[in-house]
Structures are given as C-alpha cells and as structure tokens.
Amino acid sequence: MEHIELTLLGLLLAVVGLTALARLWNVPYPILLVIGGSLLGFVPGLPSVELDPDLVLLVFLPPLLFNAAYFASPRDMKLLWRPITLNAIGLVLLTACAVAWVAHTLVDDLSWAAAFTLGAICAPTDPLAATAIARRLGVPARLVSVIEGESLVNDGSALVIYRVAVAAAVGGSFDLLDAGWEFVANVAGGIAIGALVGFALLPLFRRALADPLISVTLSLAAGYLGYIPAEELGVSGVLGAVTVGLVLCWHAPTITDPLSRLTGYAFWDVLVFLLNALLFVLVGFQLHEVVTHQERSLALLLGLGAAVSAAVIATRLLWGNTTPYIIRALDRRPKQRLLRVGWRERMVIGWSGMRGAVSLAAALALPLDFPERDLLLFLTLTVIFATLVVQGLTLPWLIRTLGIEDDGSPAREELHARRAATEAAISRLEELREEEWTRDSTVRLMRKNYDVRQRRLAQVAGERSFEQDGEDLGEHTDARARLTKELIDAERAIVVALRNEGTISDEVMHRLERELDLQELGIAAYRREPSVAPDGAA
C-alpha cells in the first residue's frame, strides 16, 4: 500500500469528523459512518486499499463478538429464548434463501452457491444503531433484549451458512444433506469449544485480579482463544468467541476487581468503536474500485441493490408478522401468553433489523478470486445503507407513531437493587459498630449518609412524601454532589498549579488526578438514580 502514513491519518480523521457530526445531529454514529465511508472512495487522489481476505474475519470478528457477548444478559436470553432462537436461526435461513433467490434470478450466471453466500452475508443483524435509538426513545427493555440477543446468536448461524456457501462456490459442489449436518456440527462444536475455553480462563482471570493491565489484555485474547481453535477444528469460531464471552460475562463479578472493570470498560468502548468505524471507512476506500471494475451500469447496480435490500427488509417484516401466530396456535400455555407482544412491538423489532460490521467483514473476507466478488461487496454495502440509513433514520418516527413507550421495568429493577444494596450496607454497618477498629464518629457519619439515601429511594418509590422528610431529598443529593464537585475542581486546580510551578512532578500530579477523577465518577454514578412513579411507571 502506497503512502500508508497518509492513509492511516486519513482514516482516523474521517472517523473523528463523521463521529463528531453524528454527535452534533444526535444520530447513532454507524449511520454517518456508512454514508461518509461510501462517499470517501470517490474522493479524487485517495490511494487504493487492498485488504487480505484471510485476515479480515480474524482481526475484526473475535473482539466484536466477544464484546457483544460479554455485555449481553444471559438472564434475558434465557427468558426470551424462543423469539431469539426463531429469529437467529429460522429468520436467518429464510433471509439467506430469499436473498439467494432474488440474486440468482436477477444476476446472469450467478451460481446458487455465490447467491447463498450473499444471502448469508446479508442475514446477520447489527444492534448498535437500533438499540441506541430504542433506549433513547424509551422502548421497553424486553424488545431491546430481543434485538440484542438475536444479533448475538444470528452472527454464528449466518456465518456457518457463509462458510458452507463459500466452500461450495469455490469447490463447485453442494449437497443439502451434507450442508445440514455440517451446520449442526459447526454450531455444536463452536459452542462446546467456547465453553471449554471460557471455563479454562476463569482461574487465569482470578490470578490476574490485582493487575488491570493483565486482566484487560487477557479479555482481548479471550475472543481469539475461542475463535481460533474452533476455526482450526473446522467448527464455528464465531460461536466459540460468543460462548467464551457469555461464560466470562456470568462470572465477571467474581473474577475482576473495580479497577480492572473501569479500565476494561474504557478499553472496550474505544476498541469496538474503532473496529466498527474502520470497517465502514475501509469499505468506502474500496467502493470506487468496486464500481469501476463492474461492467454493469450504475443504474443496473443500484436496481440490483434495491431488489436485494427489499428482499432483506420484506422477509423480516413478513416473518415477524406470521411466525408468532403459528407459535400461538401451537402453544397456548398461560405462561407463554404473558410473553406475547402486539403487532406494534413486532413492527419495531422488524424495522430494527439493521446490518453492519459483521456483514461488512464477511463480504471483505471473500477470496479475491470469488465469483462476482465486487458485485457481492457492492450489494452488501447497498443492503447496509438501506437498512442502517433508511431504517435507522425512520425508526424514531415509527416508534413515536406506534406509541411504543417504556414499561418502566429497568427503572424498577434498578430501584429495587439500590434499595437492597442500601439495606445490606446499613445492616453490615450495625454489625461492625461493636468492632474494636471502628470509630463511633465514623459509624454515625456513614449511618447518616445511608439513612439519607434510604429515605431518598423511598421518595422515588412513592413510599415517602417530601412533607415527611421536610425536603426533596433528590435536590439534597444534587446539591451535595454539586458541592463535592466544586471541591474536587478546587483540589485539581491547585495540584495542576503545583505541577506547573515545578513544586511536584508530573507523576505525582497524575496519581492525585486519577484519585480525583475516580471520586468525580463516583459522584456522577450516585446522582443517576431511577425516576419511578408510585404506580411503577417511569
């Protein structure tokens, strides 16, 4: 690659600029990245970027999948296993078939194997933009959990189909029965290897408990440790990485300490953002060559892209508005009736089926000699553009129009947890009152703080009134947090001044600055208490 220094600089500046625009316009950053990335390739003078297909999946997928699994909710996935499984397997297969049929019908000489490869590429969803919009607009937590859980599992099922289809397209043979058995073996093998690796890593994380650098580095390696052995054994590395993430997610509270968690959250936020952003921008750098190498006209390419995108969107909407009625006819248990949602909620889930980083990585990973590789890459980007940009920008309107509102469950759960934690702390404080090493003045001060917090939470729950306490304890909490923030700012200013005048070293300044930063983060977390009406509605 020529001028690699300028290319890297251009990539980073493009990511910064597009993300800043996304923040300014209050839209999820993937939407601006796919628009800007698509346009970048047509800027005159930009160098061409050629990626090694063998490295694309290896570099991008394991950390993205591990991160998604690590921050998933096993509880919600267990509760909502039916819609998640149906969407992640049944809908993926149907989408792959629908896209394959459209592509094979409309594109001359496109083999069924290549068409199914495109279908598998377009099948997995990306929840990043959809969940950001849904949470901002107060969509019920259950719907968000379905969108996230589906995306986590359908990456594995779609990429298993992808592997089978690519092998058939390159090797020239395909047997449906063999493909079916291979699918089952890939899924079972990937999950088994991921579980083994996950449980094997638990003792290592416990030994690294006191060192955040080792802990975070080990978390980065974990996704690859699940992915690479599975791929080498010929099973699903995607499900291997996902399963490792789920195992470590469940045990995370006991294998990490506070400093490791804070360091890890910051590291993974930046890493996942950069990986997603670079994927979109890198495709933009190649888009110009993809279009110019095509013998088809731009109008024909856009028509093919529109047809494939329509197949992806229509299949999801059709599935979401037919399958539930079949399930209801077969399973009429009262327990299942409580889990049902109406057509409005299903429309939101259907319209949230956006495509993103996994589809891009799969398209870029196609062998350079793959039949119609440039066309498949163009169609993938078209589908991502149609689902991410068109559906992403209209999803807020759809949510408001359908009247989808927050059911208050996350706020109620958070309030319940805060009250239980406060009561546990007060109970422990009373137990420690008689210990020799405690001091009465310290115990009284801490008990007073917890009493205020307990009464504040009772006000939030509607169990105490402002008149009973003599004031709105929410305002009391805000005033206390603001005062503490002012004091921390004063401490920070004098520490920086001492460094500037040479009284203390930069090392000492950074050590004190870090302590003050952690205190300030604690204040911000303390102020973020749930707002729940007496009847439990947010």
Task: Tell me, yes or no, whether 367 and 446 share the same domain.
Answer: no
Task: Tell me, yes or no, whether 353 and 461 share the same domain.
Answer: no
Task: Tell me, yes or no, whether 381 and 504 share the same domain.
Answer: no
Query: pTM of this prediction?
Result: 0.81
Nearest CA-CA partner of 236 in 57, 97, 51: 57
Domain membership flag for residue 345? yes
Q: Tell me 471's DSSP state.
A: S
Domain membership flag for residue 536? no
Predicted confidence (pLDDT) per residue in 381-413, tens digit: 899 989 988 998 899 999 989 888 777 677 788
CA distance 521 to 532: 23
Domain membership flag for residue 534? no
Q: Would you state the pLDDT for residue 490?
A: 93
Task: Tell me, yes or no, whether 264 and 134 share the same domain.
Answer: yes
Predicted confidence (pLDDT) per residue in 6-42, tens digit: 777 777 888 888 888 888 888 888 888 888 877 877 7
In order of 45, 137, 139, 304, the CA distances from 104 in angstroms are 36, 40, 38, 11
Q: Tell me 47's DSSP state.
A: P
Q: Would you state the pLDDT for residue 415?
A: 85
Task: Tell me, yes or no, whether 325 and 463 share the same domain.
Answer: no
Predicted confidence (pLDDT) per residue in 76-111, tens digit: 888 888 888 899 899 999 999 999 999 999 998 898
CB 113 within 8 A of CB 174: yes
Task: Tell me, yes or no, whether 335 and 263 share the same domain.
Answer: yes
Record the tokens describing residue 153, joined without a space.
Answer: 């599992």
Query: What is the average pLDDT across 161-168?
Result: 86
Q: Name the average pLDDT for the chain.
A: 84
Domain containing 16: what range?
A: 4-407
385 Cβ contact list (under 8 Å, min separation 6): 34, 35, 38, 309
Task: Tell me, yes or no, whether 457 and 352 share the same domain.
Answer: no
Q: Would you state the pLDDT for residue 537?
A: 36
Predicted confidence (pLDDT) per residue in 411-451, tens digit: 788 888 888 988 999 999 988 888 888 888 888 888 888 88
Task: Tell me, yes or no, whether 294 and 324 share the same domain.
Answer: yes
Nearest CA-CA partner of 525 in 277, 262, 320: 262
Domain membership flag for residue 535? no
Task: Tell me, yes or no, whether 394 and 423 share the same domain.
Answer: no
State the pLDDT confidence band at 336, using cuts at 50, 70 and 90: low
Task: Classify each residue of 192-209 as buried b or exposed e, where b means 16 or more C-beta atoms within 10 Å of its C-beta.
Answer: bbbbbbbeebeeebeebe
Q: Tell me 123's DSSP state.
A: S
CB 61 within 8 A of CB 358: yes
Of 390, 407, 424, which marks where a domain is finished?
Answer: 407
Indicate which CATH number applies to the domain containing 390.
Answer: 1.20.1530.20
Domain membership flag for residue 438? yes
In order of 415, 425, 527, 531, the CA distances from 421 in angstroms are 10, 6, 16, 17
N-term to C-term CA, the chain: 54
Number of domains making up the chain: 2
Of 384, 407, 430, which marks where a domain is finished?
Answer: 407
